[in-house]
Structure 1
Amino acid sequence: MPSVALTAGTIDYTDTGGDGPVLVLLHGVNMDASLWRRVVTELGPGVRCVCPTLPLGGHRRPMDRPELVTHHGVAALVGELLEALDLRDVTLVANDWGGVQFLVADGPGDRIAGLALVACEAFDNFPPGKPGKAVAMSARVPGMLWVSMQLQRFAWFRRAPGAWGWMSKYPVPAEVMDEWFRPAQRDPAIRRDLRTFALSTPPAAELRAMTARLASFDRPVLVVWAREDKLMPREHGPRLAALFPRGRLVEIDDSYTLVPEDQPQRLAAELARFVRTEVADARS
């Protein structure tokens, strides 16, 4: 797997290559780039998919500057990644983690052509629901983050209501989740990064100010929301789409938050349509 050295540290990524429109696909806490594996397969060779593993607990390389592993810091890291890989006319796609909104709230860079927000944190829902708040709570108590990560070894915990059982409607393959959780289970430096991030949620006033600035992003935005989502309030989908001058909402059936796991084919079709029509038209 290729890697790139950034200010905070070195991150791994996958890149399908090719000359098609570029999607940069971003995951949430305690996951890695494999969240997008089925969507990437569905999109096929006509779309270039770059999937970084962000330092959110599922990463294998501890960050050199852990103090930068915050919502703002990881958002800045995404912007730095675009520059380091010289990616242009990019459509950013975020699922679960909503921090990419910080990157675009103050005006998009020349490299960003569109944005797709897929069942992600928004408004005051940082961290999202009971699972997100549980990680934040465990980060505040010495030793509890280690305990929380060890519990992820057990299938009953992974599917428990109020925990990962509310993240995906259908079970994520055990071998995929094993890879997601193993770094934070084994490496205290990875838990250090995760703890820093979990404790970095901006105060409510800052979240409101960031949300108000999203209207400055005048490029195409696709908001994809799961009708049955238990972590991201359903009303946040239309509210989020309405914030953007060129926002559009699509609602997905038979899915929870992890739409890339529950409905990869439908999500891939929506993303392909978005980049080949709305984003392409805006660039022409």
Structure 2
Amino acid sequence: MSTDHGSGPLPGVHRTPDARFTGLPDFDHPPHYRTWEGLRLAHVDVGDGSPIVLLHGEPTWSFLWRHVIAELTGAGHRCIAPDLPGFGRSDKPSDDWFTYDRLVASVVSLFEELDLRDVTLVVHDWGGPVGLRVATTEIPERISRLVVMDSGLFTGHQRMGSAWQAFRDFVDATPDLPIGMLITGAVATPMTDAVVAAYEAPFDSVEAKGGARSLPGLIPQTPDAPGAAEGRAAVEALSADTRPVLLLWADQDAVLPLEATGRQMEQLLPLRQPLQVVENAGHFLQEDAGPAIGRAIATWLDEVGGA
């Protein structure tokens, strides 16, 4: 996979300058680039062994997984962490480009282009609606194990809490989203200025924030909304699934609370063991407990034969 920068972006597509990504704390992995639908999409690919794909959500990027990756590669696994279109080092189309189908298709193309098989798929936040659909109704034959973290599927029947609604209203009213503030407000322990700057690095202008602005509005609020039927199909497939599934949830997640959303996912998924609570962690639990999460996944993979 090429690390070349390639030609410039398509008209109307924003590309964050490379200089924004220098000196990232604990994240010196070189980006790999590929072209899909005219967009330059980035991912990191580090380590050797059984493949683990880690999908971020809103409004983060592959940097989120750095501490988890360190533990998993140390345990003998290969980690592939893509930046979804609109995030990280990937190209950033305008707001109206984003649909649930396109996000799913971008991840399917990654699996196919890298010919990934026998994958452990790890999903968080918006990585869940995307990744769980990829793993059920799109290319289930390429994915052997699932790890779900503070995430789920949208069917149009789900109830969104007051914290999420406040977030949605804020996004609608704020074109120049304060990315760092959104993330610092959803962790349990303070982040350093350098880490906050790393989360803000991809979003160097208002034009760069189309994905961050658009994803909340893609959540179907009624059963007939776009994406709802696809979410229900994925839920139906998951409920009858026989693949090993690990469910991790933060104890202090105000966006998707443990005792509401987390326990609902525990009932939905065909778990062979109970939900594992990640203590002293907020919605972005990789920031609060990244090494512990990496070790938990590595231990689980040893138990279920994913090494």
2:256 alignment partner, SS class: coil
Give the aligned partner of residue 81 of structure 2. Answer: 51
Q: How far apart, CA to CA, are the structure 2 residues paired with 1:49 and 1:31?
A: 17
Match of 1:32 among 61, 65, 72: 61
Give the aligned partner of residue 136 of structure 1. Answer: 168
2:72 alignment partner, SS class: helix
What CA deviation, in whole Å up to 9, does each residue of 1:246-283 have, x standing for no partner?
A: 454211111112221111222111111222332539xx
Q: How far apart, CA to CA, are the structure 1 residues paired with 2:148 and 2:60?
A: 17
2:137 alignment partner, SS class: coil
With over 3 angstroms needed to count, the CA separation of the structure-2 counterparts of 1:35 and 1:214, relative to structure 1, is same
TM-score (norm 1): 0.80
- The Cα of 1:192 is off from its aligned counterpart by 2.7
Report sequence identity in percent: 25
With over 3 angstroms needed to count, the CA separation of the structure-2 counterparts of 1:164 and 1:126, relative to structure 1, is farther
Equivalent residues in 2 for 1:1-284, closer than 5 Å: 1-7=31-37, 9-18=39-48, 20-45=49-74, 46-63=76-93, 67=96, 69-97=98-126, 98-99=128-129, 100-106=131-137, 108-122=139-153, 130=163, 132-134=164-166, 136-141=168-173, 144-146=174-176, 148-149=177-178, 152=179, 158=181, 163-188=182-207, 190-205=208-223, 206=228, 207=231, 210-235=234-259, 236-246=261-271, 248=273, 249-280=275-306
Structure 2, unaligned stretches of length 5 or more? 1-30
Q: How far apart, CA to CA, are the structure 2 residues paired with 1:165 and 1:13?
A: 24
With over 3 angstroms needed to count, the CA separation of the structure-2 counterparts of 1:177 and 1:56, relative to structure 1, is farther
With over 3 angstroms needed to count, the CA separation of the structure-2 counterparts of 1:21 and 1:128, relative to structure 1, is farther
What CA deviation, in whole Å up to 9, does each residue of 1:178-205 have, x standing for no partner?
A: 23224334151x2233333332112342
Structure 1, unaligned stretches of length 5 or more? none
CA RMSD of aligned residues (A): 2.9
With over 3 angstroms needed to count, the CA separation of the structure-2 counterparts of 1:33 and 1:176, relative to structure 1, is same
Q: How far apart, CA to CA, are the structure 2 residues paired with 1:56 and 1:247?
A: 36
1:110 alignment partner, SS class: helix
Check conservation: 1:8, 1:69, Cα contact below 8 A.
no
- The Cα of 1:244 is off from its aligned counterpart by 2.8
2:101 alignment partner, SS class: helix
With over 3 angstroms needed to count, the CA separation of the structure-2 counterparts of 1:125 and 1:232, relative to structure 1, is farther
- The Cα of 1:69 is off from its aligned counterpart by 2.5
Output the amino acid matched with 1:176. Answer: V
1:12 alignment partner, SS class: strand
Check conservation: 1:57, 1:181, Cα contact below 8 A.
no
1:171 alignment partner, SS class: coil
Output the amino acid matched with 1:2. Answer: H
- The Cα of 1:13 is off from its aligned counterpart by 0.9
TM-score (norm 2): 0.74
